[in-house]
Amino acid sequence: MTRQLVVTMSTLLLVTLGLRGAAADHQESAGAFATHEYSALAAFEHSVQDYMAVQRRLARRTPPLQVTADAARIRNAIDSLGHAIRSERAGVQPGEIFTAPVAELFRRRIVWALGNFDAAVLLQEMEEDNGTEVPQLAVNGRFPWNSGNAIWPSMLVALPQLPEDLEYRFVGADLVLVDVRADLVVDILKGALLSK
């Protein structure tokens, strides 16, 4: 064998081994990413179930929400449950459910769901639709229904499913987790639409 052929074969062998190593590194990092994503998703679902357990327990102690023509009775049931949950969760801060790993997961999924849409244009359209200034939200506060935008279908597909009494809403660039039955802000992911 000539010296040049030996060098060429050695180079090919090193390149092949390098590609295998790179592929193994990629598989390893993809596996770590999937594990991280699964862990964040499991933590989110666990936190949501914990919240729902509190909500169900307190709903048994407050006036029931029933179908009626009496608006005052409906408002009383909603307010009573909201007050009980606020008392139970006194002092809770943003990030109880949208923890750092969960927030990272949600931000990635929101970017994916936005696709080629420009978040700044979407925010401008939402502000025009609402016609009001974006309110300051607080965890455990009432949800401002006149300012919260429903989540479009591509976003709902990207985000984890929620129990019946909970919804995702956008208020400005913030993603808000809302307890519809208690008219309550459960948690806030600040600047979620600005992740792109």
Helix (H) or strand (E) holding 150: strand 149-150
Q: Tokens 């009001």 label which residue? A: 132
Contacts of 148 (CB under 8 A, 6+ apart): 169, 170, 171, 176, 178
Considering only residues 148 and 53, tell me which one the structure prediction assigns the higher pLDDT: 53
User: What is the pLDDT confidence band of residue 94, given thresholds at 50, 70 and 90?
Assistant: very high
Tokens found for residue 26: 């990629």
Strand partners, 170: 149, 175
Query: What pLDDT sits at residue 67?
Result: 84
Q: What is the pLDDT of residues 14-40, one digit of tens each?
A: 333 444 444 444 444 445 557 878 999
- The DSSP secondary-structure symbol of 193 reads G
User: What is the pLDDT confidence band of residue 12, given thresholds at 50, 70 and 90?
Assistant: very low
Residue 104 has pLDDT above 70, yes or no: yes
Strand partners, 177: 168, 187
What does the H/E/C string look like for 96-120? CCCCHHHHHHHHHHHHHHHCCCCHH
pTM for the model stands at 0.79
Q: What is the mean pLDDT of the chain?
A: 82
Alpha-carbon gap, residue 58 to 50, rounded angstroms: 13
For 150-184, b/e burial (b = at least 16 CB within 10 A) is: ebeeebeebbeebeebbbbbbbbbbbbbbbebbbb
| Number of Cβ atoms within 10 Å of the Cβ of 76 | 14
Helix (H, G, I), strand (E, B) or coil at 141: coil
Q: What is the pLDDT of residues 133-191, one digit of tens each?
A: 667 899 999 998 877 777 888 889 999 999 999 999 998 889 999 999 999 999 999 99
